[in-house]
Amino acid sequence: MHQIEPWVVLSFCSIIFFIGFTGVLIRRNILVILMSIELMLNAVNLTFVTFSKQLNHLGGQMSVFFIITVAAAESAVGLGLVIAMFRTLRSVDTDEIQILRE
Amino acid sequence: MLFWIPLFPLIGFLINGIWYAFGQAPAGRKKAGAGLPGAIATGAIFASFVVSLMIFIQLLGQDPEHRAVEQILFNWMSVGKFHVDVAFRIDALNTLFTLVITGVGTLIHLYSIGYMGHDETPGKFFAYLNLFCFAMLMLVMGSSLPVLFLGWEGVGLCSYLLIGYWYTDIEKAKAGKKAFVVNRIGDFGFLLGMFLIYSTFGTLDFESLRHLFGHAGSLPEGVSPQVITAISLFLFVGCMGKSAQIPLYVWLPDAMAGPTPVSALIHAATMVTSGIYLVSRLNFFYTGSPTAMSVVAAVGAFTAFFAATIAITQRDIKKVLAYSTVSQLGYMFLGCGVGAFSAGVFHVITHAFFKALLFLGAGSVIHGMHEEQDIWKMGGLKSKMPRTYWTFAVGTAAICGVPLLSGFFSKDEILWKAFSSPSGSPWLWFLAAITAVMTAFYMTRLFSLTFLGAPRFEVAEHAGHSHDHPGHDHGHDHGHGHGHGAKKVKGIAVHESPLLMTLPLMILAVLSIVGGYVGWPHASWIEHWLEPVVGGGHEAASGVSESLEWILMGVSVLGALIGILTSFRVYRNLSLVEAMTRNVQWLHKILENKWYIDEIYEAVFVRPIQVFSQLLWKGFDVAVIDRIVVGFGRVSQWTGETVRVIQTGSLQVYALMLLAGLIGTAGFLIYGWH
């Protein structure tokens, strides 16, 4: 079976990570930011799996399981917060939600 | 059964105190009756007198060597080897004190019901009085130094509360404060002495300490005489404060600002004698240190003399008695200082009788004269206040040392011991004898100016019916007129005090006459009684014969008579007094101003401390410490102002900073500083 070279996978991962990161930086909609964070998390997951295979060590894959679980919980909480926020502030735009600053 | 003695006054205090705080005080400063609070307080102290008497009778039946009743109530504190119980122990020495405190205390409580009859807050007064008795009984009954110290501080507190009882008068409040502060100075010495005892002997229990010493005059093994001297002197500093000896006597004359029964109970009969109690209780320390003994004797003798010189010129009836108290306390310390502890304690008891009598008599005079305290504005009270006159006469004769009255026996015992004991000296005797003459002189002066001669005040015409008028109150600065009712009468309507006040006077007068017979020379019951606790009187130094004792006794009787007769002659003719005063004006002025001691203390201690404090306040506290503290505030304020710029509130900016931080940290970890 043909094996994909690790550097290919890792490059792919970093591209996805930085796409996610750019999304966090430049988008103003919190929902999109949350999605971008998911993207970054999955890129990291992929990296873990790659190194796990490379190093013959199960630690990486274990981390992935934890990250998936926590990420699920995190997005549930995050979405709940977004809904609550939208109900009170009528907006999900980060430029408008800066009330703590004052 | 012992714990009932202090418990009764405590219960009385609680009843009166709670009743006052929740029942009388919220109702405002309206006139509340003195009858019921007074009856509760008197009943409480009388009950503990009965218990004290029962304990005394129980002690009488015991074997002299092991005469003691002990009761351990509960463990107070226990830290490592340090172990203190709240325990009482009554032996031959302090049973006398409990009897005097509760006995004389009962009479004074009874008297107060009459004296404080028109006071606005009698509930508070009687609560304090009972609290004082509780603390005083703790002081004398405690079986170890910490329990004694508890009472020691308690009586100081009550003294402060009662001196400043009429606190709306700023002078009286100040007098209370002065008493408290001066006593604290003494307490500092007391505490140091107590610490030194614990670190040297590892125990604070009187009985254990006494066993360590064994026979009188011998020291425990491995303890240097210097340590004993230091302990004795530190404790004596505490006694100086409490018992008003030079240099800490200045608070006692000012303490006369309190109500007169308080002066009688606290500042004459009981609290001020606690120093003598402490010295006699720890007599083994003092007999172990000749240096400390000499200091005690010298301070006592000099205080006796010094206070007597001041008493000669005072105009205020209570001030004369206050200085006379200081002087008599000096006698007691002189007795202790020459090793005659039983003579000192004997004088405590007789002094409690006649000085309480004199103070209560003075209170009766003040009461009858409507708050006049200046003896130059009295005179001729003999016919107007016959019962006060006769009882006061007995008290005066007793303190002057007229033979066969109580003061004669105790004072003569001290004089004789000051001369004959190995640690005594003719000089001490001479000083004390001169003081005795002066005492006779100033007490007779007080007596004749108050009661004899013609009145030196305007006598009200209707003096006869003033007996039962309710319109006056006393002790207050309320400025009531001397007239009463609708008809204004000029002058003072002198009246004899009610029976409630004169009855204690009569009882005390009887005690002042017969109280001395327990110490009949050469057949002294009290010396024999105290011997197991304070050791027997020392054998007279060689070359002192019995005939010499008779001669010295004759000299002191003669001295007293000379003092009394001179005083009578001089003060019968007041123009003669004025002429004499003019001749020695400078001396009179010095004495009248009490040797300027208050002014000297003010200049030497109070002023420099004030200036120094001012300096520290302005120069260090405000200029340095405040600046540092304010500086901290300024710095954090400035930092906050500066740094808050980066807190934009924008999520994306934070994320970018996060990234920058991440890259920075990663770069540092990989490349280090290079």
Which residue in A25, A28, A101 is closest to B648 by CB distance? A101
Chain B contact present for A95, CB below 8 A: yes
Residues 6+ away with beta carbon under 8 Å from A32: A23
Express each pLDDT in A67-88 by its tens digit.
999 999 999 999 999 999 899 8
Long-range contacts, stretch B208-213, CB < 8 angstroms, 24+ apart: B209/B282, B209/B284, B210/B284, B213/B284, B213/B285, B213/B288
Please write down the HEC assignment for all residues of B585-654: HHHHHHHHCHHHHHHHHHHHHHHHHHHHHHHHHHHHHHHHHHHHHHHHHHHHHHHHHHHHHHCCCCHHHH
**How does DSSP assign B221-233, residue by residue?**
TT--HHHHHHHHH
Contact list in A for residue B650 (CB cut-off 8 A) is 94-95, 98
Dist CA B229 CA B64 (whole Å): 30
Q: What is the pTM of this model?
A: 0.79
Rounded to a whole number of angstroms, the distance from the CA of A100 to the nearest CA of chain B is 7
* CB pairs < 8 Å spanning A and B: 21
Q: Do B317 and B450 meet the contact criterion of CB atoms below 8 Å apart?
A: yes
H-helix or E-strand spanning residue B135: helix B122-141
Give ∠ CA B411-B414-B416 in degrees, rounded to 5: 110
Asked, for residue A32, whether it belongs to a domain, the answer is: yes
Specify the CATH number for the domain of residue A95.
Answer: 1.10.287.3510
Taking an 8 Å cut-off on Cβ atoms, the answer to whether B647 and A101 are in contact is yes
> How high is the pLDDT of residue B231?
94
Contact list in B for residue A21 (CB cut-off 8 A) is 655, 659
Question: How far is CA B602 from each of CA B82, B171, B250, B608, rounded to the nearest angstrom?
Answer: 41, 16, 11, 9
Rounded to a whole number of angstroms, the distance from the CA of B666 to the nearest CA of chain A is 16
Enclosing domain of residue A34: 6-100
Dist CA B402 CA B43 (whole Å): 35
- Crossing angle of helices B341-368 and B92-115, rounded to 10°: 0
**How does DSSP assign B332-369, residue by residue?**
HHHHHHTT-HHHHHHHHHHHHHHHHHHHHHHHHHHHHT
What token pair was written down for B463? 């003096």
Taking an 8 Å cut-off on Cβ atoms, the answer to whether A98 and B650 are in contact is yes
Express each pLDDT in B588-605 by its tens digit.
888 888 888 888 888 888
Taking an 8 Å cut-off on Cβ atoms, the answer to whether B649 and A98 are in contact is yes
Residue with tokens 């890259």: B663
Question: How far is CA B479 from each of CA B115, B163, B461, B473, rounded to the nearest angstrom?
Answer: 18, 20, 21, 9
> How high is the pLDDT of residue B477?
38
Contact list in A for residue B649 (CB cut-off 8 A) is 98, 100-101
> How high is the pLDDT of residue B97?
94
Chain B contact present for A82, CB below 8 A: no
Query: Which has more confidence, A62 or B594?
Result: A62
Q: Do B524 and B413 meet the contact criterion of CB atoms below 8 Å apart?
A: yes
Taking an 8 Å cut-off on Cβ atoms, the answer to whether B649 and A26 are in contact is no
Asked, for residue A1, whether it belongs to a domain, the answer is: no
Rounded to a whole number of angstroms, the distance from the CA of B178 to the nearest CA of chain A is 57
Please write down the HEC assignment for all residues of B145-202: HHHHHHHHHHHHHHHHHHHCCCCCCHHHHHHHHHHHHHHHHHHHHHHHHHHHHHHHHC
Dist CA B552 CA B554 (whole Å): 5
Express each pLDDT in B601-640 by its tens digit.
888 888 999 999 999 998 899 989 999 999 999 999 999 9
Asked, for residue A70, whether it belongs to a domain, the answer is: yes
Taking an 8 Å cut-off on Cβ atoms, the answer to whether B649 and A25 are in contact is no
Taking an 8 Å cut-off on Cβ atoms, the answer to whether A94 and B655 are in contact is no
Rounded to a whole number of angstroms, the distance from the CA of B641 to the nearest CA of chain A is 13
Which residue in A26, A33, A100 is closest to B649 by CB distance? A100
For chain A, what is the domain count?
A: 1
- Which stretches of chain B sit within 8 Å of chain A by CB? 647-652, 655-656, 659
Nearest CA in chain A to B648: A101
Asked, for residue A48, whether it belongs to a domain, the answer is: yes
Rounded to a whole number of angstroms, the distance from the CA of A24 to the nearest CA of chain B is 7
Q: Do B494 and B463 meet the contact criterion of CB atoms below 8 Å apart?
A: yes
Rounded to a whole number of angstroms, the distance from the CA of A101 to the nearest CA of chain B is 5
Taking an 8 Å cut-off on Cβ atoms, the answer to whether A98 and B648 are in contact is yes
CA dihedral B166, B168, B172, B175 (to 10 degrees): 110
Chain B contact present for A14, CB below 8 A: no
Taking an 8 Å cut-off on Cβ atoms, the answer to whether A33 and B649 are in contact is no
Q: What burial class does residue B665 get, using C-beta atoms within 10 Å of its C-beta: 0-12 exposed, 13-18 middle, 19+ buried?
A: exposed
> How high is the pLDDT of residue B539?
55
Q: Which of B499, B504, B308 is nearest to B391 (CA)?
A: B504
Q: For residue B247, is the peptide bond before it cis, meaning its omega torsion is within 30 degrees of 0?
A: yes
Which residue in B649, B652, B656 is closest to A101 by CB distance? B649
Question: How far is CA B34 from each of CA A2, B16, B45, B109, B643, rounded to the nearest angstrom?
Answer: 113, 11, 16, 11, 71
Compute mean pLDDT per 10 residues along chain B, 674 residues long, and list them. 92 92 73 82 95 93 87 89 90 93 94 88 91 95 93 94 91 92 92 93 89 73 87 94 91 91 90 93 89 93 93 91 94 92 93 94 90 85 89 94 90 89 87 93 92 83 44 40 42 82 93 89 84 69 71 89 89 81 83 85 90 92 92 94 83 86 93 80
Contact list in A for residue B656 (CB cut-off 8 A) is 25
Taking an 8 Å cut-off on Cβ atoms, the answer to whether B651 and A100 are in contact is no
Asked, for residue A91, whether it belongs to a domain, the answer is: yes
Nearest CA in chain B to A102: B649
Taking an 8 Å cut-off on Cβ atoms, the answer to whether A98 and B659 are in contact is no
Contact list in B for residue A78 (CB cut-off 8 A) is none
Dist CA B100 CA B137 (whole Å): 10
Contact list in B for residue A25 (CB cut-off 8 A) is 652, 655-656
Chain A residues 34-63 with a CB less than 8 Å from chain B: none
What token pair was written down for B244? 């008003």
In this structure, the number of other CB atoms found within 10 A of the CB of residue A72 comes to 11
H-helix or E-strand spanning residue B89: strand B82-91
Dist CA B346 CA B531 (whole Å): 13
Interface mutation vs chain A, best among B650, B653, B656, most A CBs within 10 Å = B650
> How high is the pLDDT of residue A95?
80
Contact list in B for residue A101 (CB cut-off 8 A) is 647-649
Nearest CA in chain B to A95: B650
Q: How far is CA B380 from the centre of its chain?
A: 32
Rounded to a whole number of angstroms, the distance from the CA of A1 to the nearest CA of chain B is 37
**B563 half-sphere exposure, CB direction, 13 A CA radius:** 29
Asked, for residue A27, whether it belongs to a domain, the answer is: yes
What token pair was written down for B220? 């425990």
Chain B contact present for A29, CB below 8 A: no
Asked, for residue A75, whether it belongs to a domain, the answer is: yes
Backbone angles phi, psi at A27, to 5 degrees: -85, 150
Chain B contact present for A94, CB below 8 A: yes
Taking an 8 Å cut-off on Cβ atoms, the answer to whether A33 and B659 are in contact is no
Mean pLDDT confidence for A8-22 = 93
The ipTM assigned to this model is: 0.77
Taking an 8 Å cut-off on Cβ atoms, the answer to whether B652 and A24 are in contact is yes
Interface mutation vs chain B, best among A25, A97, A102, most B CBs within 10 Å = A25
What token pair was written down for B180? 């408290």
Which residue in B647, B649, B655 is closest to A25 by CB distance? B655
